[in-house]
């Protein structure tokens, strides 16, 4: 335990902060000073005078003394959680209240938290005598990827959150399909969101043949976008709908793949 304390507190790590605040009680400060002196003595004697059993016993007694004088984990502050629950974060970090505050390896906590698919980055701070602060940055959910194996939540960087509850997002995010659609999704959704009134009608987006997109709207219309000049094509649909209500004409498809022409397919059964 104490060897990890020594190592963790002398290494420089930009992602892990070790903040020591002054204990409120004078006796805690005294215990801390004595403990630090003991650590130096232990490491001096570790490979010379003490055998392994004596060394471990001394570590155990020192650890017990620290806990007895208030240097144990009592508070865990978490900042930046949106989709994760506090218990999930604490369990992933493998933090146990009541353990010695010095016995917590911040590098291990950091690495444990990064194993969670939701977490993009994390900062951890130890504040004496009894607090660990965790600041996380979650990945942002983007869409629901529909595959033969089921539906998965994807984030802005294209990664898949397999542990996410899809039902929490099914009415908030569009569905995307197609090979490599998760990798390309952020760019197309960024374009679609530029016309917010139009984007509200999007319920599904299909990546076709690894080259272009079809946009399925709630009105029952499919917009066939070209491979290039997607912004221009999407702005054209927005203009035509505002001026002529093109999405309310009973069309089933609007084809913009030819930059010189716009083709529309009418569902005759709908119009009769």
Strands of the sheet with 150-155, listed across from one edge = 160-161, 150-155, 141-147, 175-177, 202-208, 212-217, 222-224, 251-255, 263-266
CA distance 178 to 167: 21
Angle (nearest 5°) at CA 68 between 66 and 69:
65
Of 203, 240, 239, 231, the closest CA to residue 219 belongs to 203
Tens digit of each residue's pLDDT, the chain (272 residues): 434 443 444 333 444 554 444 444 566 666 666 666 666 555 555 545 556 666 667 677 777 877 888 889 999 999 999 999 999 999 999 999 999 888 899 999 999 999 999 999 999 999 989 999 999 999 999 999 998 888 999 999 999 999 999 999 988 999 999 999 999 999 999 999 999 999 999 999 999 999 999 999 999 999 999 999 999 999 999 999 999 999 988 899 999 999 888 898 887 665 54
When computed from its CA atoms, the radius of gyration of the chain, rounded to whole angstroms, is 29
* β-pair type (251-255, 263-266): antiparallel
Q: What pLDDT is attached to residue 64?
A: 80
Q: What pLDDT is attached to residue 45?
A: 54
* β-pair type (131-138, 75-79): parallel
Would you say the C-alpha torsion 59, 61, 67, 71 has a positive or negative sign? negative
CA distance 90 to 60: 25
Of 196, 246, 243, the closest CA to residue 220 belongs to 246
Q: Give one word for 94, left, alpha or beta, with left for phi > 0 and alpha for psi -120 to 50.
A: left
What's this model's pTM, rounded to 2 decimal places? Answer: 0.73
- CA distances to 47, 54, 222 from 181, in Å: 58, 60, 17
- CA distances to 24, 47, 138, 143 from 168, in Å: 44, 56, 16, 12
Q: Which two tokens stand for residue 1?
A: 């335990």
Q: What pLDDT is attached to residue 180?
A: 93
Strands of the sheet with 75-79, listed across from one edge = 16-19, 119-127, 131-138, 75-79
Q: What pLDDT is attached to residue 4?
A: 43
């Amino acid at each position: 335990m104490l060897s990890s304390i020594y190592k963790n507190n002398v290494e420089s790590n930009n992602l892990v902060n070790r903040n020591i605040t002054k204990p409120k009680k004078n006796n805690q400060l005294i215990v801390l000073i004595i403990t630090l002196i003991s650590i130096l003595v232990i490491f001096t004697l570790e490979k010379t005078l003490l055998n392994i059993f004596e060394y471990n016993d001394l570590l155990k007694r020192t650890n017990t003394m620290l806990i007895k004088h208030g240097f144990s984990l009592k508070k865990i502050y978490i900042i930046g959680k949106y989709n994760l629950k506090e218990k999930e974060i604490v369990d992933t970090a493998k933090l146990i209240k009541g353990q010695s505050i010095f016995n917590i390896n911040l590098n291990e906590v950091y690495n444990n938290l990064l194993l969670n698919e939701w977490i993009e980055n994390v900062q951890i701070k130890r504040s004496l005598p009894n607090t660990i602060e965790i600041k996380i940055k979650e990945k942002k959910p983007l869409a629901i990827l529909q595959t033969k194996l089921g539906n998965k939540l994807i984030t802005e960087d294209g990664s898949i959150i397999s542990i996410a509850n899809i039902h929490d997002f099914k009415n908030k995010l569009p569905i995307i399909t197609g090979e490599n659609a998760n990798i390309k999704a952020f760019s197309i959704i960024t374009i679609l969101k530029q016309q917010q009134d139009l984007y509200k009608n999007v319920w599904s987006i299909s990546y076709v043949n690894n080259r272009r997109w079809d946009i399925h709207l709630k009105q029952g219309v499919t917009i066939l976008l070209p491979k290039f000049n997607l912004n221009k094509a999407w702005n054209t649909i927005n203009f035509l709908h505002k001026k002529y209500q093109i999405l309310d004409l009973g069309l089933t498809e609007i084809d913009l793949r030819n930059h010189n022409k716009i083709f529309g397919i009418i569902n005759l059964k709908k119009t009769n």
